[in-house]
Homo-oligomer: A and B are copies of this chain.
Amino acid sequence: MAVKKIGSQTIKLLNPPSIISAGSIVGPKEGDGPLAQYFDKIVQDDLLGEDSWEMAESALVKEAANIALGKVNLTLDDMEYMFGGDLLNQIMSTSFAARDMKVPFFGLYGACSNFTESLSLASMIVDGGYADQVITTTSSHFSSAERQYRFPLESGNQRPLTSQWTVTGAGATIISSVGEGPYITYVTTGKVIDFGIKDAANMGAAMAPAAVDTIRAHFTDTGFKPEDYDLIITGDLGIIGHEIAMELLQKEGYNMSKVFKDCGVEVFDNERQDTHSGGSGCGCSAVVSCGYLYKELQAKKLNKILIVSTGALLSSTSSLQGESIPSIAHAVTIENKLN
């Protein structure tokens, strides 16, 4: 048995890498939301001067990377690998950003689980001594996602109350072998879970069982309990998915009530901003983590958190073919102090 493996799905990092910097950039709606003060940059033009929503999203990726690098006086030349992904077909916005960034590149696809999928792989590569400094990027864009997965924006379709609003934004982290935290200490890798939900306008319900499966595995493997964390936050279950996940975990004996949140619930003010079930998209957990959570960790208002980004692995083709929605969630523990 590999020595770093604990339980069946979790790695304990023996040389925990530091997240030495994080950068976040969001669009106008996110910048008008309750977490506005935590984002590094809010753009008012969500086309960012580009000709298409896809290339605008690509610009978000590059800018998030620039922000993260600038904070620690590093450049792309200092980055040994880039781990990145997004929601678009062939991860278009990330691929085109990687073209300009010129860093050895591992493209990932985990739908909205991308933020923690990239942190998982990046932290193992740094912990294992394969690199000293790597960059991760994750993005989504309301307009590129909407027209790919749902309807042309111009048709002004009515959105069901279960639907979520794809976050326009990107987050980037710099993971380093040298640093003073926050440290990535545990990585729990999810399995694909499918409870048979077919409604692509209710992705929170589809993803909740995957989040529960990974959180349960994390607790089982590590022996941690909910109260060992200051915060356990899922990616983008939204209001409906969050309630389902809370209830499912309660049934398994985990009282999450004091520590359990969801990035999709936090990122918008649902009363005022009318997003229905909350935010979604890869960018959701990326900007909430790189903006809000990272700054709360730095301010020591949070000291040990579990981020569980959640991905719905549907495609518009699989939906048209009547398939249900396979989902996945990956968890990483981030702490200010090493024991």
Contacts and interface: CB of A to CB of B under 8 A. Distances in A.
Given A89-B316, A315-B88, A326 B95 contact: yes
How large, as a class, is the contact surface on chain A? Answer: 35 or more
A211 to B, nearest CB: 15
A85 to B, nearest CB: 7
B4 A130 contact: yes
A75 interface: no
A132 B1 CA distance: 6
A5 B132 CA distance: 9
Contacts of A81: 189
Interface stretch (A99-107, A258-266, A285-293): A99-107
A109 interface: yes
Nearest to A126: B2
Contacts of A192: 95, 98-99, 101-102, 105
Interface stretch (A49-57, A63-71, A241-249): A49-57
Q: Which 8 A-B pairs have the closest CB atoms?
A: A128-B128, A90-B315, A104-B189, A95-B313, A109-B109, A89-B89, A99-B326, A99-B192
A236 to B, nearest CB: 16
A328 interface: yes
B107 A110 contact: yes
Given A89-B89, A313-B107, A191 B102 contact: yes
A3 interface: yes
- Number of chain copies forming the complex: 2
Interface in A78-95: 80-81, 85, 87-92, 95
Interface string A102-145: 11111111110000010011001111111110000000000000
A39 to B, nearest CB: 27
B191 A90 contact: no
A90 B314 contact: yes
Given A95-B326, A98-B191, A107-B110, 20 more contacts: A2-B129, A5-B130, A11-B130, A52-B321, A55-B323, A88-B315, A89-B317, A90-B315, A92-B317, A95-B192, A99-B192, A101-B192, A102-B191, A104-B190, A104-B191, A105-B191, A107-B109, A121-B121, A127-B128, A128-B129
15 contacts: A2-B126, A3-B129, A4-B128, A4-B130, A5-B130, A9-B104, A88-B315, A90-B109, A90-B111, A90-B315, A95-B192, A95-B313, A102-B191, A106-B120, A148-B317
A194 interface: yes
A254 interface: no
Contacts of A168: none
Contacts of A8: 80, 104
